[in-house]
Amino acid sequence: MTTFGLKAECGRFIRYDDPSADLPQLHEAGIFDGPFLHLGGGSNLLFTSGHFAGTVLHNCCSGLVFARIGDTVMATAAAGCRLDDVCREACRRGLWGMENLSGIPGNIGGAAVQNVGAYGTELRDLVDEVEVFDTVSGHFRSLSAEECAYGYRDSLFKHLPVAGSLVVTRVRLRLTALPSPRLGYKALADRFGDADPASLTPTLLRDAVIALRDAKLPDPLTTGSAGSFFTNPVVSADAYEALKAVHEEIPGHITPAGDVKLSAAWLIDHAGCKSLRIGGAALWPSQPLVIVNATGEASGAEVVALEHEICRRVKEVFGVALVPEVVHI
């Protein structure tokens, strides 16, 4: 049930497709009193031991509604909707905002937890409201984007005391009918920067983004992975200058806060990790940020061993600590 394709077992597996009825019933039955894991598309999970003793809840709910108010369009998606399906439908309707997120695996509920992003867009740029079920109180409530406390691949949902206790059930996004292409990513700027804005459509950018992803990322239908395994490290401006004094070509992107975001892929590549392989776990040749289940028979332990070796080498060469983006269970 995860995109890594690793074998795993659990104590109990429950599918549900009607959150408004099913989650309160599960609460009444005491399911949330013991260890549980809420699973959507399974695109950002690593079962390290191959066994989870608790209950796995699989969200199968669907439903996508668009409501237009002038040039603003609210798209409300059930948490079990595939993120890329929402992207595709928004683009088909000529709505701007989601096109740069095209092709990202997983469901929109998990995307709202992780604050997924790609090619200059993060989901937090679009989130208006997130509906959740509180497994402690047994009640539903809605959180504004501000209350979700979004950061780089981060949110309220990933931190105590609420981590694991709030189940995302619905996500409302704010899209627009007004042309608003985001071309900050170099490959998109190179292709569309000189184009007549009137000639651009969300679907045109979506197709370009998918082509970029296909050129460097594994096909999730044939090769198991969790996508980007590590987040890009953020260091102070002084730390970046110190790194640059030793490694002149190290790339860095200045953040709004004045820090510098490094490229984890560049660090991994230049730490001599590109051809690393442990058992069935390996780095994807055209994108060293991605660990893959190369044989289809890799174990969680092999993936973790490869992760640790990558982190060790990057730390040894650059003095920078890599942090996994993938959730370890």
Cis-peptide, bond into residue 161, ω within 30° of zero: yes
Q: Give me the pLDDT at residue 54, please.
A: 93
Provide mean pLDDT across the span 248-261.
92
Q: How confident is the model at residue 197 (pLDDT cuts 50, 70, 90)?
A: confident
Q: Does residue 1 have a pLDDT over 70?
A: no
How many angstroms separate the Cα of 204 from the Cα of each of 178, 191, 200, 265, 293? 15, 11, 6, 27, 32
Q: Give me the pLDDT at residue 5, please.
A: 86
Q: How confident is the model at residue 250 (pLDDT cuts 50, 70, 90)?
A: very high
Provide mean pLDDT across the span 85-93.
98
Torsion of CA 217, 226, 116, 128, to 10 degrees: 130
- Residue 23 near residue 61, CB atoms below 8 Å: no
Domains, the chain, in order of start with CATH, read 64-216 (3.30.465.10), 224-328 (3.90.78.10)
Q: Per-residue pLDDT tens for 35-85?
A: 999 988 888 889 898 889 999 999 999 999 999 999 999 999 999 999 999
Sheet holding 51-59, edge to edge: 9-16, 51-59, 36-39
Provide mean pLDDT across the span 179-207.
92
Q: Per-residue pLDDT tens for 199-249?
A: 999 999 999 999 999 998 888 888 989 888 999 999 999 999 999 999 999
Neighbour tally for 255: CB within 10 Å = 12
Strand, helix or coil for residue 22:
helix
Task: Select the more confidently predicted residue: 90 or 185.
Answer: 90
CA angle 254, 256, 260 (to 5 degrees): 30
Q: Which two tokens stand for residue 223?
A: 């090769």
Residue count of the chain:
329
Among 43-57, 156-170, 298-312, the range of highest mean pLDDT: 298-312
- Residue 289 near residue 265, CB atoms below 8 Å: yes
Q: What is the DSSP annotation of 250-317?
A: --EEE-TTS-EEE-HHHHHHHTT-TT-EETTEEEETTEEEEEEESSS---HHHHHHHHHHHHHHHHHH
- Residue 118 near residue 132, CB atoms below 8 Å: no
d(CA 266, CA 60): 37
Portion of the chain with pLDDT greater than 70, in percent = 100
Provide mean pLDDT across the span 142-150.
97
Q: Which two tokens stand for residue 125?
A: 């740029």
The catalytic residue positions are 153, 228, 325
Q: How confident is the model at residue 196 (pLDDT cuts 50, 70, 90)?
A: confident
Q: Give me the pLDDT at residue 200, please.
A: 95
